[in-house]
Structure 1
Amino acid sequence: MARRELSMKRWSTLGLVIAFLILALFVYLEPKITARSTPTPEGTSRNLLEISSASIQRIRVIDHSNRLEAEAERDASGQWFLTVPTRHLVRQDALDTLAGGLATLFVQQVISDVTDLSAYGLVTPTYTIVISATDRVFTLTVGSPTPIGGGYYVRREGDPAVYV
């Protein structure tokens, strides 16, 4: 019985690590898209978050569809650990890539006149991503994929706009 529980825990941990890697891939390979929206004005920041990857201390991903949650935290020495569901040392390059991708999420479109969040899959989001940096916390909700281009609709907590 104990062996079966241990095996199930390993599969759960593996599933969460795979979810992290999928998110890292999504961030790293973020495609260019054209969607119904307003282009980001020239001369403004084109990154969704205004942070450096080095300032990111914790990344929490909640997969609402599969009811999974994973969290990685950087310790004082700069090492990344998976802390939820259990504490494990993880591949540093994978988490560094994820942190770098999150810090440089490129805004391709801004939809500022949002009246119906359900049109973007943001009433019941697919994912919630909480990024804790040294001086602030960002919460992103990820909704539906865009109709073309393979992107996703994203909303920052406290910001009425929807981003692609």
Structure 2
Amino acid sequence: MVPTLAGVILLIFFLFKFFGGDPSQILAGQVASQEQIDAIRHQLGLDRPWYVQLWIFVQDIFRFDFGKSWMTREQVSEIFITRLPATLTITLPILLLEVSLAIPIAMLVAYRRGTLLDRAAMAICVAAMSISFLVYIIVGQYVFGFQLGWFPVQGWSDSFW
């Protein structure tokens, strides 16, 4: 897990470093002078060597300090925390349903290994995993939100019921 995490951190860093554009130029705007751009680069630490920037990036990740949003100027960690309840409200019920169905089905298929049930379950699982997750989201919204009216299809409120 540690090598995977290190690889993901390196990949993210270098993708933004080489393909993300120049954040100082984006923040300064199109009519900014070179001095303004250089001042922003210094403020963001982009004038330092790449290995120093990487070290600071890793330290900030483990401190849960992702800096400020370029669009809203809010702390990214605060934005993340304020949106976490909505994300968990959507994902936790699905995760619980998924696990409560997957474990008994997997046990049944393992018990009937090599039978028609085993082969059919494998084919169904492969077919289900081949469909984009967005299709399941759209179908779920249509069936449970629009047709059955169990929850609103759009918007978010702090009070669930």
Bin of the TM-score, shorter chain as denominator length: under 0.3
Larger radius of gyration: 2
Q: Which has the higher strand share?
A: 1
More RCO (CA 8 Å, sep 6+): 1
TM-score (norm 2): 0.26
